[in-house]
Amino acid sequence: MTAFNLEKGTTALLLDQRLAFFELERDGFELRRPAKLPVDPVEIQLFAEGLVSIAHLLYRQEFENVEENVARKSVERLFAQNGLTPERNYALEGRLEKSIRVSHFLPGAHGLALQLVDRKTDLHGYM
């Protein structure tokens, strides 16, 4: 799996240049431009121009491998530490839904079913 990296390489340098030039503040994926009230229309235009300039960096993509999903790592470690071997991609029979697929299933008296959700964005996976 690959992702767009904004933290290193030429893309990071170009991003920092644009942030400085347009006087933008970055907090993660959130961009701000401080302005005083009443807001001058030029301030809005400069903010918009800065966003467009940063959006054009997409064409300079420097992909890199992304770590495996944190939730998946945690679940796998938990099973390994307890010596459990779950069945993967298991189909359960349901009352309302005829078939329900779960990523991990441990058979037993009550059974345990887990479904890990993978995202295609930089957001963390969840369980």
Asked if residue 62 lies in contact with residue 11, where contact means CB atoms within 8 angstroms, the answer is: yes
Question: Which strand (E) or helix (H) includes residue 98?
Answer: none
Tell me how far apart the alpha carbons of residues 40 and 47 are, in angstroms, rounded to a whole number: 11
Q: SS3 of 91, please?
A: strand
Q: What is the pLDDT of residue 45?
A: 92
What are the residue boundaries of the structural domains of the chain, listed by start? 2-65, 70-114
Claim: this prediction has a pTM higher than 0.85? no
In tens, the pLDDT along 46-69 reads: 999 999 998 888 776 656 555 566
> Under a CB-based contact definition with an 8 Å cutoff, are residues 102 and 86 in contact?
no
